[in-house]
A and B are shown apart, each in its own frame.
Chain A
Amino acid sequence: MTVEELRELAEKEKARQQEHKNRIMYCSAAGCNSCGADATKAALTKSLKEKGLDGEVLGTGCMGLCGEGPLVKLQSDETLYQRVDEVAAKRIVEEHILKGTKVKENLVDTASPFFSSQLKIVLENCGKINAESIEEYIAVGGYDALAKALTELQPTEVIEEIRKSGLRGRGGAGYPTGLKWGIVHKAKSEQKYVICNADEGDPGAFMDRSVLEGDPHRILEGMAIAGYAIGANQGFIYIRAEYPLAIERLKLAIKQAERLGLLGNRIFESQFNFRIDLRIGAGAFVCGEETALLRSIEGRRGRPRPRPPYPSERGLWGMPTLINNVETYANIAPIIVRGSAWFASIGTPKSAGTKVFALAGNIKNTGLIEVPMGIPLRKVIFDIGGGTLDGTEFKAAQTGGPSGGCIPKEYLDLPVDYESLATVGSIMGSGGMIVMDSTSNMVEVAKYFMEFCKDESCGKCIPCRVGTVHIHGLLDKISKGEATKDDVALLEELCAMVMKTSLCGLGQNAPNPVISTLRYFHKEYDRVLIDPITFVSSGAAKGESIHT
């Protein structure tokens, strides 16, 4: 395929879309699917047919408001409907499309802060195009960036552009992407690899899944550009087995891109060849760590190894390897097309661009949001999220999953970027944001995360394998009301030890939830502690329950 052919295809697809007057989009991402999007689709198609209307019903990626599914959008006037069951679907066709009156009961107010406060770059195509059609992706400017990179830019120029944009790794640690690409580019080797880390293991995070389900070609394009920049001809996407729909869509997308010659040999008639293969994970949280992920792709137990050497020097099968997160690759194409200056102007000077968050927990509007970096936390939770459920008091927001921490209400005006979150003891993480209200018990929350880390520890290094078990044991003792002040002191000591001596990120960050709850919610720990002297005299030590 040549650049001209790509443009031609885009025009052809645009003309085809013009022909269909009524294009109805329904959200076919996992959230809406599980509340009956299939039935909605069937009802929409049926009623269109019954009324003899010319129309097209297409499944798109996530539209954002996951708690109110199934969602349906009309392309003609961008009306968004929520909770569209079969009855509502029929009404939409009969009343809105035929008569032009909107169905008020299901209407979503798209002028509300949930929509107006967002800025979409990564998710710009999610919910707008048919996720299973490469033509629709090309019609909205897809693969333009790859064409530009291959025909106009040298690999070093691509890297320079990414470096200038200030893009940082969206997987959590925030390593500058351009710098990483530069290192792999400089490494001397005949074979290099590009890997997309789609092993989104954090509980409560579903951003990567939504991007892969809604806009899979964006990731393929980003990876191909990365391959060109660093000089690799093979890419792997490591994806969780828990995401069957995303796997299916990626497989389809790779096939479509290969058919059109956008992946494979001599892409856009250049000397550049690139192939992408899928590798499916098998349920191990530690495989999100890059060296463990490499082992897993090699078909072994996913156990991390000490770094250096970093994967950028010796990665997959000993070759220099570039590993980036899904969201990072999704940012590449817009940067190449619109330029680094545009991207750098969004967000804060140190953290450029936007971040996708999965809002969940005790909050009114659960779902997928994308906001510019540096936005105050209060705006995310109260404007976009609509505040806590039933107006209960906000207690904390948890970011970064089991490796992150809790942010209490004192820090609600904190700007959301890499550095600010680190100062309060949390991390950006991959983007899960769980809101907790006054009903949540923070000791239990800490225990919950520690149980997770205990189960997921790979067992290679002792601090993590043994330490997490003991931290969990202490937390259990505290939550049962059997612990004294000494136990809390021991807990603090143990956390510091595990943090400093563990081999990989899992162990080093595992104590974070405990430390941050101890820091901000010490009262909740104190409340359940017992005084050893009164404990003995009350007879509780002899086995009688203290709760009586």
Chain B
Amino acid sequence: MRHGFEGWKKYLLNAFVYAEIHSRGSFRRNQNIFNFMSQQPTPTKNGHPSGDNRFKLLDRSITKNHSRGDALIEVLHAAQGIFGFLENDLLVYIARSLKLPLSTVYGVATFYHFFRLKPKGEHTFVLCMGTACYVKGAAVIQKSVEEHCKCKLGETTADNKISLIQARCVGSCGLAPVAVLDDNVAGKLTPENAVLRIKQWQLETEQVTA
């Protein structure tokens, strides 16, 4: 009997200590939220403080991954899919949602080539620089396209119309040299052909503005 009572006492004490630590922890976290709310975006029950509905989509992806830190890459994929690129504000939001240090999130976002920290242009011209394409003259295409757009691969034209992107290999080596123009693969490309396609885009946008 006495032993049973001791056991209960121990149990209750443990529960009390656990609750104390737990509540204090969450209390502290909450305080942090209030402190930083004025400057930094923080996930709340109603999503992002800006009221942007796209954050609700992002929240859905985060809850799908149970807010686990190791789902960071999946969440970043989702975020880039929704927003187009990862701006600092977004990275802070993700870091807070997944309870990860911002340095980790920023580190991962900058490590992988797939994640963009800057917005891309209206049209994208992804030139494959895989070995097969390289052997078949992708470098010449690169040169002529760069000259035409007056910017290098990996950059966006000054008018924000066309982004030139370099791909490692799109896996369509049978059609080399290959470029992906707005998600459409164009194979057996020539320098003239590539520049012509870009000119078409430029014409289109001019017509719209006219």
A residues apposed to B, CB below 8 Å: 30-31, 33-35, 65-67, 69, 200-206, 209, 241-243, 279-285, 296-302, 358, 360-362, 366-367, 398, 401, 432, 434, 436, 440, 445, 448-449, 452, 458
Q: A243-B171, A360-B132, A361-B132 are in contact. Are A279 and B73 (CB under 8 A)?
A: yes
For the complex, give the distance between the alpha carbons of A367 and B173 in Å: 8
Contact B112 A34 (CB under 8 A): no
**Contacting residues of chain B (153-210) with chain A, CB-CB under 8 angstroms:** 167-176, 178, 184-187
Contact B73 A282 (CB under 8 A): yes
Contact B111 A302 (CB under 8 A): yes
CB pairs A–B below 8 angstroms (5 shown): A203-B168, A204-B173, A205-B173, A282-B73, A360-B176
Q: Report which of A360, A449, A452 forms a contact with B174, defined as CB distance below 8 A.
A: A360
Closest to A451 in B: B129
Contact B113 A284 (CB under 8 A): yes
For the complex, give the distance between the alpha carbons of A111 and B117 in Å: 52
Closest to B184 in A: A34
For the complex, give the distance between the alpha carbons of A440 and B178 in Å: 18
Nearest chain B CB to A214's CB is how many angstroms away? Answer: 13
In the complex, which residues of chain A have a beta carbon less than 8 angstroms from the beta carbon of B136?
A: 361-362
Q: Report which of A67, A300, A452 forms a contact with B175, defined as CB distance below 8 A.
A: A67
**Contacting residues of chain B (45-70) with chain A, CB-CB under 8 angstroms:** 68-70
**Most central of A67, A297, A299, A360 by chain B CB within 10 Å:** A299
Total number of B residues with any Cβ neighbor in A under 8 Å:
39
Asked if B17 is an interface residue, CB under 8 A from chain A, the answer is no
Q: Report which of B107, B135, B172 forms a contact with A440, defined as CB distance below 8 A.
A: B135
Contact B130 A203 (CB under 8 A): yes
Asked if B95 is an interface residue, CB under 8 A from chain A, the answer is no
Contact A299 B72 (CB under 8 A): yes
Q: A34-B185, A448-B134 are in contact. Are A282 and B173 (CB under 8 A)?
A: no
Contact B175 A35 (CB under 8 A): yes
Number of A-B contacts (CB under 8 A): 138
For the complex, give the distance between the alpha carbons of A298 and B167 in Å: 25
For the complex, give the distance between the alpha carbons of A281 and B73 in Å: 8
Closest to B183 in A: A244
Q: A33-B185, A436-B135 are in contact. Are A301 and B108 (CB under 8 A)?
A: yes
Asked if B77 is an interface residue, CB under 8 A from chain A, the answer is yes
In the complex, which residues of chain A have a beta carbon less than 8 angstroms from the beta carbon of B186?
A: 34
In the complex, which residues of chain A have a beta carbon less than 8 angstroms from the beta carbon of B178?
A: 34
Contact B168 A300 (CB under 8 A): no
Nearest chain A CB to B98's CB is how many angstroms away? Answer: 9
Contact B170 A448 (CB under 8 A): no
Contact A30 B113 (CB under 8 A): no
Asked if B115 is an interface residue, CB under 8 A from chain A, the answer is yes
**Contacting residues of chain B (97-117) with chain A, CB-CB under 8 angstroms:** 104, 107-108, 111-115
Closest to B80 in A: A282
**Most central of B108, B112, B171, B173 by chain A CB within 10 Å:** B171
Contact B131 A283 (CB under 8 A): no
Nearest chain B CB to A399's CB is how many angstroms away? Answer: 11
In the complex, which residues of chain A have a beta carbon less than 8 angstroms from the beta carbon of B173?
A: 66, 204-206, 358, 360-361, 366, 432
For the complex, give the distance between the alpha carbons of A201 and B167 in Å: 11
Q: Report which of B69, B76, B170, B174 forms a contact with A282, defined as CB distance below 8 A.
A: B76
Q: A31-B175, A66-B175 are in contact. Are A301 and B131 (CB under 8 A)?
A: no
Nearest chain A CB to B83's CB is how many angstroms away? Answer: 16
Q: Report which of B111, B129, B130, B172 forms a contact with A34, defined as CB distance below 8 A.
A: B172
In the complex, which residues of chain B have a beta carbon less than 8 angstroms from the beta carbon of A241?
A: 77, 114
For the complex, give the distance between the alpha carbons of A187 and B145 in Å: 55
Contact B171 A206 (CB under 8 A): yes
For the complex, give the distance between the alpha carbons of A67 and B176 in Å: 9
In the complex, which residues of chain B have a beta carbon less than 8 angstroms from the beta carbon of A448?
A: 131, 134
Asked if B140 is an interface residue, CB under 8 A from chain A, the answer is no
The proximity string for B residues 89-101 relative to A, scoring 1 for CB distances below 8 Å and 0 otherwise, is 0000000000000
Known: A203-B132, A282-B73, A299-B108. 10 other contacts (CB 8 A): A279-B74, A281-B73, A282-B77, A296-B73, A299-B74, A361-B135, A366-B173, A432-B131, A452-B168, A458-B111
In the complex, which residues of chain B have a beta carbon less than 8 angstroms from the beta carbon of A366?
A: 132, 173-174, 176
Q: A280-B74, A398-B131 are in contact. Are A30 and B112 (CB under 8 A)?
A: no
In the complex, which residues of chain A have a beta carbon less than 8 angstroms from the beta carbon of B104?
A: 300
Contact B111 A284 (CB under 8 A): yes
In the complex, which residues of chain A have a beta carbon less than 8 angstroms from the beta carbon of B21?
A: none
Q: Report which of A31, A296, A401 forms a contact with B131, defined as CB distance below 8 A.
A: A401
Closest to B104 in A: A300
The proximity string for B residues 108-147 relative to A, scoring 1 for CB distances below 8 Å and 0 otherwise, is 1001111100000000000001111011100000000000
Q: Report which of A209, A242, A283, A301 forms a contact with B107, defined as CB distance below 8 A.
A: A301
Asked if B37 is an interface residue, CB under 8 A from chain A, the answer is no
Closest to A202 in B: B169
For the complex, give the distance between the alpha carbons of A11 and B169 in Å: 41
In the complex, which residues of chain A have a beta carbon less than 8 angstroms from the beta carbon of B130?
A: 203-204
**Most central of B175, B186, B187 by chain A CB within 10 Å:** B175
For the complex, give the distance between the alpha carbons of A300 and B73 in Å: 8
For the complex, give the distance between the alpha carbons of A296 and B73 in Å: 8
For the complex, give the distance between the alpha carbons of A440 and B171 in Å: 21
Q: Report which of B113, B135, B167, B172 forms a contact with A31, defined as CB distance below 8 A.
A: B172
In the complex, which residues of chain A have a beta carbon less than 8 angstroms from the beta carbon of B111?
A: 284, 301-302, 458
Q: A203-B169, A282-B113, A434-B135 are in contact. Are A31 and B174 (CB under 8 A)?
A: yes
For the complex, give the distance between the alpha carbons of A362 and B184 in Å: 24
In the complex, which residues of chain A have a beta carbon less than 8 angstroms from the beta carbon of B82?
A: none
In the complex, which residues of chain A have a beta carbon less than 8 angstroms from the beta carbon of B167?
A: 242
Asked if B71 is an interface residue, CB under 8 A from chain A, the answer is yes
For the complex, give the distance between the alpha carbons of A529 and B134 in Å: 24
In the complex, which residues of chain B have a beta carbon less than 8 angstroms from the beta carbon of A66?
A: 172-175
Nearest chain B CB to A268's CB is how many angstroms away? Answer: 30
**Most central of B69, B134, B168 by chain A CB within 10 Å:** B168
Contact A67 B174 (CB under 8 A): yes
Nearest chain A CB to B137's CB is how many angstroms away? Answer: 9
**Most central of A202, A203, A296 by chain B CB within 10 Å:** A203
Q: A34-B185, A67-B174, A299-B70 are in contact. Are A280 and B131 (CB under 8 A)?
A: no
Contact B114 A34 (CB under 8 A): no
For the complex, give the distance between the alpha carbons of A66 and B187 in Å: 11
Contact A298 B187 (CB under 8 A): no
Contact A283 B168 (CB under 8 A): yes
In the complex, which residues of chain B have a beta carbon less than 8 angstroms from the beta carbon of A31?
A: 171-172, 174-175
For the complex, give the distance between the alpha carbons of A361 and B112 in Å: 28
For the complex, give the distance between the alpha carbons of A200 and B173 in Å: 14
Contact B114 A283 (CB under 8 A): yes
Q: A203-B131, A299-B108, A434-B135 are in contact. Are A283 and B71 (CB under 8 A)?
A: no
